[in-house]
């Protein structure tokens, strides 16, 4: 396959590490660029004139991206993909939306007795939307059950989804907010996770990462440390929900333990930012839920970037609290509400998000020997993504060299 004549080809070429500071603005743009794909892998990247004259390009399936933007497939490194159906407020509710407390701190088992088949079918609907929106890889967390049968059902659903055209990376998150009635059982819950669930999930190879909510009212620093150390001993990658509502020192703990990413990060101080800047930990920022729930405070992306932290963006997709799977929408919010430039937001949604999933060596940029995950936008300039917020600009999504989505043509008869 030869994707050619891109008005702007955003390669994001660079060293195999997360981008920081000024590097986030370097998208490696090639004007009139092309990508040559062989067996699902990128074989050549460069100007169209050079690539179309290569012997390997002769007879290739050609996709003409003339007048369009081509960039790596978006990577959504934080979602709650498999979960319950949406919940709605009672008739007459003044706001028309449920509050975060009512959504998150309610029942322990949100999926109830939903069958694995229903969980998978609901998730497939979301993944189809992801492909339409240009997302080719995403992370999916459990945590909507907090008991053994429910958590295993979610993780098994994740496994069933991996055979589809979106790469699904599974995270076991049995340690999330518990309802008020369950708060006194946190110590017992952590012991159960460390002694039983983590070994079980590891033995069945149901998850690559673990995640824990380290917050006031959720799990404290010592409980978090115990959980993450037990998980690391079993070979899991480590992630944290932290500083979403309070600052209890979670960032310093996460950096000390070498977690792959710390997510949310709304309440930070200067020391937290410096710790992140001087570490390999990715700061994953999630504006979607804040917008949906009407919050006014957003993460200090500008300060984090200026200090040198590695920043990623993700949707935090959740059917109730952040129901949009659109990375384009997250880019728009990042630019409007978190003072990121369009280039920074794209870097955070591709190459840095790939590193937040420990996959920066083979996805996240358009470089030789990487997976051929591309998105073609019906746009003349990448800066249209935040400018035209709420509009899906994706014309074509290519996953490992195969077209998995192409926008249907609209018949237009001009008068």
DSSP state of 77: -
pTM to 2 decimal places: 0.94
**pLDDT tens digit string along 165-204?**
999 999 999 888 776 556 668 899 999 999 999 999 999 9
| pLDDT attached to residue 313 | 98
358, with CB counted inside 10 A (0-12, 13-18, 19+), is middle
**pLDDT tens digit string along 135-147?**
999 999 999 887 8
Residue 60 has pLDDT above 80, yes or no: yes
Token pair recorded at residue 186: 């946190």
| pLDDT attached to residue 90 | 66
For residues 377 and 382, give the distance between their C-alpha atoms in angstroms, rounded to a whole number. Answer: 8
What are the chain's domains?
2-72+364-406 (2.30.40.10), 74-356 (3.20.20.140)
Q: How far apart are the first and last CA of the chain?
A: 37
Packing angle, helices 250-257 and 221-233, rounded to 10: 20
**pLDDT tens digit string along 26-40?**
999 999 999 999 999
Residue 108 has pLDDT above 90, yes or no: no
Mean pLDDT of 252-276: 98
User: Maximum Cα–Cα distance for the chain, whole Å?
Assistant: 72
């Amino acid at each position: 396959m030869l994707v050619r004549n891109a008005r702007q080809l955003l390669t994001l070429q660079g060293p195999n590490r997360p981008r920081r500071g000024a590097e986030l603005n370097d998208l490696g743009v090639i004007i009139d660029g092309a990508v040559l794909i062989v067996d699902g892998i990128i074989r050549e990247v460069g100007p169209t004139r050079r690539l179309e004259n290569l012997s390997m390009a002769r007879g290739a399936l050609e996709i003409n991206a003339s007048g369009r933007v081509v960039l790596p497939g978006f990577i959504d490194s934080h979602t709650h993909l498999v979960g319950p159906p949406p919940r709605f407020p009672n008739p007459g509710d003044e706001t028309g939306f449920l509050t975060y407390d009512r959504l998150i701190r309610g029942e322990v088992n949100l999926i109830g007795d939903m069958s694995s088949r229903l969980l998978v079918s609901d998730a497939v609907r979301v993944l189809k939307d992801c492909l339409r929106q240009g997302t080719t890889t995403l992370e999916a967390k459990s945590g909507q059950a907090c008991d053994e049968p429910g958590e295993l059902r979610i993780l098994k659903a994740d496994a069933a989804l991996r055979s589809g055209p979106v790469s699904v990376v599974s995270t076991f998150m049995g340690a999330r907010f518990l309802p008020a009635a369950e708060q006194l059982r946190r110590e017992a819950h952590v012991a159960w996770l460390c002694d039983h669930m983590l070994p079980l999930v590891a033995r069945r190879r149901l998850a690559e990462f673990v995640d824990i909510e380290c917050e006031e009212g959720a799990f404290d620093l010592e409980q978090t440390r115990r959980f993450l150390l037990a998980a690391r001993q079993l070979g899991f990658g480590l992630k944290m929900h932290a500083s979403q509502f309070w600052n209890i020192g979670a960032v310093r703990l996460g950096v000390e333990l070498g977690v792959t990413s710390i997510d949310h990060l709304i309440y930070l101080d200067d020391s937290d930012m410096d710790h992140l800047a001087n570490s390999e930990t990715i700061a994953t920022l999630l504006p979607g839920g804040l917008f949906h729930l009407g919050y006014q405070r957003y993460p200090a992306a500008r300060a984090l970037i200026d200090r040198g932290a590695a920043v990623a963006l993700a949707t935090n997709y959740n059917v109730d609290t952040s129901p949009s799977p659109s990375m384009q929408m997250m880019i728009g919010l990042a630019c409007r509400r978190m003072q990121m430039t369009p280039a920074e937001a794209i870097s955070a949604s591709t190459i840095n998000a790939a590193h937040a999933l420990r996959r920066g060596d083979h996805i996240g940029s358009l470089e030789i020997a990487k997976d051929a995950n591309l998105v073609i936008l019906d746009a003349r300039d990448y800066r249209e993504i935040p400018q035209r917020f709420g509009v899906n600009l994706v014309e074509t999504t290519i996953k490992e060299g195969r077209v998995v989505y192409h926008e249907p043509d609209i018949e237009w008869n001009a008068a």
